[in-house]
A = this chain, B = another copy of it.
Amino acid sequence: MELQGHERCVSRVPIFSHLEMDELEEVFQRINHQNMKKGEYLFMAGDRSSSLFVIHKGKVRIYRLNDNGEEQLIRVLTHSDFTGELSLFSADEESKSYAEVLEDAEVCGINREDIYGLMQKYPDISIKIIESFAERLNDSESLTTNISLLNSREKLIEYIRTHTENDKLILNMTKKNLASYLSMQPETLTRTFKKLENEGVIKKINNKTYDILK
């Protein structure tokens, strides 16, 4: 069987990737596929959305607002990430976060009844979801610890440490969003980057790329 179109959307996602062909086929039949434009929202706070969304292509940012309307970036989704789970799996809960498309995206959705049915039938799917959740929870709790206990210099250092590959830091979001993620002001982030540059720790290549020197 040759996979094509939206089928690929799912077969490469860790949640489903271990399934046999005929099992995958069963998943495909329950998928709805949609193209979304930059600026559109998969869901917003207050929605009782009942779909699990798998990002096949593009970029989506998840954020929350506090009572004053200030944003906290939760994460940025790219290929094979999924979301929508919080309101999907919490009994009768409405979403507390926003999912905004940052770059034109292809998104696959599976609705509540179908995903529950699949989990019942294929326990491995649940296990994959659990493992993915465990990792997310880990990240989330690390983020909590970091943004609350570190000063802005330490936050940025920690972010660089965990996102550097081959001595290069390539940002997959704007500095404005990174500032929100690290819970500081864009001005502070700029100043902290500059401070590290003056100390010879990093070297700016362009707005999205830094060399990590030591």
Contact = CB atoms under 8 A, between A and B. Distances in A.
Interface of A: 64-68, 70, 72, 74, 85-86, 88-91, 93, 96-97, 116, 119-121, 123-124, 126-127, 129-131, 133-138, 140-150, 154, 183
Contacts of A65: 145
Given A119-B126, A123-B120, A131-B90, A143 B144 contact: yes
Query: Which residue of A127, A143, A183 has the most chain B CB atoms within 10 A of its CB atom?
Result: A127
Copies in the complex: 2
Contact of A74 (B67, B120, B144): B144
8 contacts: A72-B145, A86-B137, A89-B131, A120-B123, A121-B123, A130-B130, A140-B141, A148-B148
Contacts of A137: 85-86, 133, 136-137, 140
Query: Which residue of A90, A124, A130 has the most chain B CB atoms within 10 A of its CB atom?
Result: A130
A144 B149 contact: no
Contacts of A150: 66
Contacts of A136: 137
Given A64-B142, A129-B130, 14 more contacts: A66-B154, A68-B149, A74-B145, A85-B130, A88-B134, A89-B131, A90-B131, A123-B123, A126-B126, A126-B129, A133-B134, A133-B137, A140-B141, A143-B144
Contacts of A145: 64-66, 72, 74
Contacts of A133: 89, 130, 133-134, 137
Given A119-B123, A135-B90, A64 B141 contact: yes
Contacts of A70: 149
